[in-house]
Amino acid sequence: MCPPAHFSISYSINPWMDPAKPVDPQLAHAQWDDLRRTYLSLGHEVELLDPEPDLPDMVFAANGATVIDGRVFSARFAYPQRAGEAPAQRRWFRAHGYTDIGLPQHVNEGEGDFTVAGPYLLAGRGFRSSPDSHAEAQEFFGRPAIGLDLIDPRYYHLDTALCVLDDGPSPDVMYYPDAFSPGSRSVLAALFPDALIASREDAEAFGLNAVSDGKHVLLPQAAVGLFTPLRARGYEPIALDLTELLKGGGSVKCCTQELRGRPPEPPAPPGDSS
């Protein structure tokens, strides 16, 4: 996670951003810190990325890379306003022992458009990430990438329209069908016939920009229609207020990059038999 120390709406690169609607910096930080403290209370570790003053969207840490099995596939941002976030994240990963870092040739915006669902890498395209980035990610991770076309500019990243609730052998997901092309809706229905289908109201509340650890589902408090069906599936929904961050087009998931797998252990020094 990255604190929103410099978060502001000084430009617009998605339909949710309006520079005429200023951010309350103290409230944004309080809401972000509530999310951070919630992760800690659930027993999760939270690593912090230092914010940089000329990168106001760094708070949306999910977009800077995708990490699977301790391997890092870096982002390449579509807009110049965010381009500096990718090298900033790579510096963090190198400083924390991650050595296998892939540098993309094509635009991808990290976990904004990539997510793990069992053996698959679900991959969004249409507004930000290039279709060519899917083959790059598939080659890097050795997982089949399933391309999904986004057709509504309000759902410009996959993580605004779909959330993986359980990425085990039989993945469980929730999604908003109208964010996807007809063909992609058919793919999702074939892969996940028992998916939880979100309403327009819950999708517009960014209810799918959520994070699940397989038991707890952290999501915006305004997505009230998702709470009962989540409980019926055995999950524990946890409501959070991130309305200030929503002004930038992000919520729980956008603020959360998942570090799947640890970096490799450094080799033991010569003569060390431990």
Q: Are strands 172-175 and 162-166 parallel, antiparallel or unpaired?
A: antiparallel
Distance CA 93, CA 17 (A): 29
Taking the C-alpha atoms of residue 206 and residue 182, their distance in angstroms, rounded to an integer, is 22
Catalytic residue, candidates 157, 163, 216, 255: 157
Q: How far apart are CA 102 and CA 74, in angstroms?
A: 6
Taking CA atoms, 96 is separated from 1, 223, 255, 263, in Å, by 14, 36, 20, 8
Length of the chain, in residues: 274
Query: Among residues 2, 163, 254, 255, which one is catalytic?
Result: 254
Query: In what helix (H) or strand (E) does residue 121 lie, and over which residues does it extend?
Result: strand 120-125
Q: Give the full edge-to-edge strand order of the sheet including 216-220.
A: 211-212, 216-220, 236-240
Q: Is 84 helix (H, G, I), strand (E, B) or coil?
A: coil
Annotated active-site residue 254? The verdict is yes
Task: Look up residue 46 and give its two tokens.
Answer: 């939270």
Q: Is 157 a catalytic residue?
A: yes
CB burial string 223-242: b at 16+ within 10 A, e below: bebbbeebeeeebebbebbb
Just list the catalytic residues: 157, 254
